[in-house]
């Protein structure tokens, strides 16, 4: 027997890899377009920044949710474009495995529509989130056509949400409105205020400081006109 034959004989047979139940990796396809990616990142940034002090919420996107140990695509796991789970530990995960998460499913799901997924998002996924996940709030949004819809689970069935005067839809689970601003979907408070990104929040703080400084400078100038020392006040 040659050395090459000995090595071939000694080499162990390749076995299929089976992940343990608590070590399942996400198995989601890439996003359709850059616009889809930017939309998901925008929503993630807004909620993570707003809820930065909370440790009882999990926010993610394009992450597989495993809800059956069989792990058959389309029948035992799905990957929403954006979802939120309340009342859970805030930590990094490789996937969302229901049986490792005390049986919890998302409280809120948003799908970003595209030509290849819109039909499934409006039918198969809607049925799955309604009947299996029992997710209270389900929304979808098309960044190309601006199609926007939302549903709330009532007596086991999704009922369409009615928009307010600004065309926004209320999420009972998140406690925010969702509405379109600048062709992108954004969160709004009950009072109608935009939920900012960290960058927008920092810019607002900078503008407020600049306004306060300008007011102080105008007041100081007025006092000097009256021969009053601003430092004496």
What crossing angle do the helices spanning 198-225 and 34-50 adopt, rounded to 10°?
60
Long-range contacts of 162-171 (CB under 8 A, 24+ apart): 166/192, 169/139, 171/108, 171/137, 171/139
Handedness of CA 106, 110, 167, 44 (dihedral sign): positive
Please, which residues have CB within 8 angstroms of residue 181's CB and are 6 or more apart in sequence? 194
3-state secondary structure of 108: strand
Cβ proximity of 84 and 61 under 8 Å: no
In the β-sheet with 184-188, what is the strand arrangement from edge to edge?
169-171, 176-181, 184-188
CA separation for the pair 127, 71 (Å, rounded): 19
What's the DSSP call for residue 231? G
Cβ proximity of 184 and 195 under 8 Å: no
CA separation for the pair 184, 196 (Å, rounded): 13
Domains along the chain with CATH numbers: 17-194 (3.90.1570.20), 196-233 (no CATH)
Cβ proximity of 150 and 139 under 8 Å: yes
pTM above 0.85, yes or no: no
Per-residue pLDDT tens, the chain, 233 aa: give them.
443 444 444 444 444 433 445 566 555 555 567 888 999 999 999 999 999 999 999 999 999 999 987 765 556 778 899 999 999 999 999 999 999 999 999 999 999 999 889 999 999 999 999 999 999 999 999 999 999 999 999 999 999 999 999 999 999 999 999 999 999 999 999 999 999 999 988 775 675 666 666 676 676 677 677 677 666 66
């Amino acid at each position: 027997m040659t050395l090459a034959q000995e090595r071939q004989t000694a080499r162990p047979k390749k076995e299929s890899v089976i992940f343990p139940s608590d070590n399942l990796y996400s198995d989601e396809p890439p996003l359709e377009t850059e616009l889809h990616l930017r939309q998901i990142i925008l929503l993630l940034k807004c909620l993570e920044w707003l809820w930065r002090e909370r440790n009882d919420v999990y926010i993610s996107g394009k992450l597989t949710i495993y809800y059956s140990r069989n792990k058959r695509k389309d029948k035992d796991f799905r990957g929403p474009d954006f979802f939120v789970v309340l009342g859970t530990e805030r930590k990094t995960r490789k996937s969302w495995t229901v049986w490792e998460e005390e049986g919890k499913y998302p409280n809120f799901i948003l799908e970003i529509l595209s030509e290849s997924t819109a039909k499934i998002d409006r039918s198969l996924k809607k049925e799955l989130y309604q009947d299996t996940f029992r997710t209270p709030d389900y929304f979808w949004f098309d960044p190309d056509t601006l199609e926007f819809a939302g549903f709330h689970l009532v007596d086991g069935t999704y009922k369409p949400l009615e928009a307010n005067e600004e065309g926004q839809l209320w999420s009972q689970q998140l406690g925010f409105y969702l509405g379109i601003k600048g062709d992108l979907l954004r969160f709004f408070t009950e009072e109608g205020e935009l939920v900012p990104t960290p960058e927008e929040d920092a810019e607002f703080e900078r503008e407020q400081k600049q306004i306060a400084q300008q007011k102080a400078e105008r007041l100081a100038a007025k006092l000097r006109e009256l021969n009053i020392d601003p430092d004496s006040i």
